[in-house]
Structure 1
């Protein structure tokens, strides 16, 4: 499954919607996705599993790239 991770660039930052960034991780569960990126200094806001329709939309935006972790 592909997960979309919404995060702030630093753990010290208060979440502000305008500064939220995203990345995509392939994993079997939310827990596995979280553990794969646990070494990064980011403040994870939300991890969302992408269904087929949402995945196709994300691919069509041109900003879709699955992280290799």
Structure 2
């Protein structure tokens, strides 16, 4: 499955919408996503499962780059 992760660059940073970044990652479930990203030191705000039309829409974005972890 493909997941969209919304996060802040620093784990100590207070979530502010203007500073939120996103990345796309392939994993089996949300727990696996968190495990793969635990060493990055980021503050994960939200993890969204992408499938079907949502995934197709995100793939059209110029920001869509599937992370390999």
Please indicate the TM-score interval, normalised by the length of the shorter structure: over 0.9
CA RMSD of aligned residues (A): 0.7
Query: Partner of 1:20 in structure 2?
Result: 20
Q: Cα deviation per residue 1:1-28 (whole Å; 9 max; x = unaligned)?
A: 0000000000111000111000011001
Q: Which runs of 5+ in 2 are unaligned?
A: none
| Deviation, structure 1 residue 45 | 0.3
Number of residue-to-residue matches in the alignment: 69
Q: Aligned to 1:25, what secondary structure does the other structure show?
A: strand
| Runs of 4 or more above 3 Å deviation | none
Distance, in Å, in 1 between the alignment partners of 2:52 and 2:18 is 26
Q: Which runs of 5+ in 1 are unaligned?
A: none
